[in-house]
Amino acid sequence: MLINLIFESRHKPNMRIYLKILALFYLYGATVHCANLLGFGEIPFRESPLSWQVGDISYGILGSLTFVGLWLKTRWGIIGFFLSAVSQLILYLVFPKWYAFNAEQQQLLWSMIIFHLVTLSIFFGLLFFSKRNEQYNS
């Protein structure tokens, strides 16, 4: 029931706008990961820690697919959004020392955690309010 509600929400006017905005954030993230792969990051790709290398490759691909899927308002775009957000939350909360080695990186890590919590909260808030409006109007 909840899964169908999530997937069908992509046709609601407010959610369509939100998915487009979210897609642009994922485009930016994918661009950053791809730039890191090309050597434009803080550390040359070959010299960066293995966790950064794996993250840049996997989230570069996932972010690109999520961007396209969210922009087109597809089911797999929403799945990509949840997969990316939840997996990064788990990695950054459970294994922060794999990704942040100094205070600046720790601050960036926390900003990513907050970003994912906010985007998920907005998604479920829009979902809740659109469902509530449907019940109220019927």
pTM exceeds 0.85: yes
Give the pLDDT of residue 136: 66
- Give tens-digit pLDDT for 80-107: 999 999 999 999 999 999 999 999 999 9
Going from the C-alpha of 73 to that of each of 13, 22, 69, the distances in angstroms are 12, 11, 6
Residue 11 and residue 5 in contact, taking contact as beta carbons nearer than 8 Å: no
Reported confidence tier of residue 135, pLDDT bands at 50, 70, 90:
low
Residue that the structure tokens 């690109």 belong to: 64
- Give tens-digit pLDDT for 31-84: 999 999 999 988 899 999 999 999 999 999 999 999 999 999 999 999 999 999
CA gap 48, 81 in Å, rounded? 26
b/e map of 105-128 (b: 16 or more CB within 10 Å)?
eeeebeebbeebeebeeebeebbe
